[in-house]
Amino acid sequence: MKRLNNAGEQGNLAYVSIFGTTQIHLRSPMIAALWSMAFPGFGHLLLSKYLRGFALVIWEIYINQTIHLNTAMVYTFMGDIDAAKSVLDVQFMHLYIPVYLFAIWDSYRTAVDLNKVYLSHIGNKSTINQRLIIRPLEINYLDKRCPVSAFFWSMAIPSVGHFYNHRIVSGLFTLVTTVIYVYHSHLLEGIHYLILGRVETAINVLDKQWLLYMPSFYFFTIYDAYVGVIENNKLFNREQSALLKKYYQKGSLLIDRGWRVR
C-alpha cells in the first residue's frame, strides 16, 4: 500500500474526456464476479476496463455461436439432454471454459485492486483532471444527472442510458450489440406476433440461440447505466465540495465532529 501511495500522489481518481468520464470508486468484487458469470466481460465493463471487457464480450459471442451453447441450454431447460448434446461442438467447447473462469476470477481480482487504489488516493485534494472538456466534435462536463432517468431510458432501449451519462464508447458498443441481438433473434417480430395473439407464430419466428443473449445483456445495461449515474453524482459532489472549500472557505474555519451546519 505504501508503493501505491507514493506512486499515486500526483494521480487522479477520475478522467474527463469527450468520450466520457472514467473513474475509480469503491465497488463490490462479488458483484463484478457475478456479472462476469452472467456474461464474460460485463464485470470488467463495470470496472471501466473497457478494452478487456469489450474483448471478452466479443469472444463470448463468437465462441457461443460456434459451439451453439445457448441452443444447448434451451434444450437442457426443456429436459431434452440428448438434443443438447447433439448441438454442442465439443472441439470448441473446451476453449470456452478457461476463458469463462478467467473472466470471473479477473474481474473479482481487479475490483479488489482498484478498491485499494481508491482508498490510497481518497485523501488527495485533487481527484479529477478537468471539469469541462470542449472539443470540435463534442463537449463533456461534470454535473449531476438523474439515476431514474438513466434507468428508464435504458429500459426503453439499451445504450441511451449510457449516452445520457455521456459514456460514448459504451453507448456505441451497446447500441451496435443491441441491433445485432434484436435482428438475429427476431425479437421484435416475435413481439409483433404476440401482440396480434399469434403465440405459436411468435415462438417459431424466434431464434433461440440469439434470443438467450438478451436477458443478461438487457438487465446489465440498465444496472450499469443506473450505477454509473450514481457514481458520477458522487464525483460531482466531491469535486464541488473541494472547489467551494478551496475558493470560499476560510482557512481558520474549524468544524468539530458532531457539529451541525445549517
Q: pTM of the prediction? A: 0.86
Q: What is the pLDDT of residue 253?
A: 64
Rounded CA-CA distance 170/22 in Å is: 11
116-152 pLDDT, tens digit per residue, is: 988 887 766 556 778 888 888 889 988 899 999 999 9
Distance of CA 56 to the CA centre of its chain: 13
Residue 10, pLDDT above cutoff 60: no
Residue listed under C-alpha cell 470456452: 96
Contact 202, 191 (CB under 8 A): yes
> C-alpha grid cell for residue 216?
443478461
Rounded CA-CA distance 55/37 in Å is: 16
Residue 222, pLDDT above cutoff 50: yes
* Beta strands per DSSP E along the chain: 14-17, 20-23, 132-134, 139-141
pLDDT tier for residue 4 given thresholds of 50, 70 and 90 = very low
143-191 pLDDT, tens digit per residue, is: 899 999 999 999 999 999 999 999 999 999 999 999 999 999 999 999 9
Contact 65, 209 (CB under 8 A): yes
Q: Which residues are within 8 A (CB) of 145 and not within 5 positions of it... i.e. 6 or more apart?
A: 164, 165, 229, 232, 233
Contact 110, 32 (CB under 8 A): yes
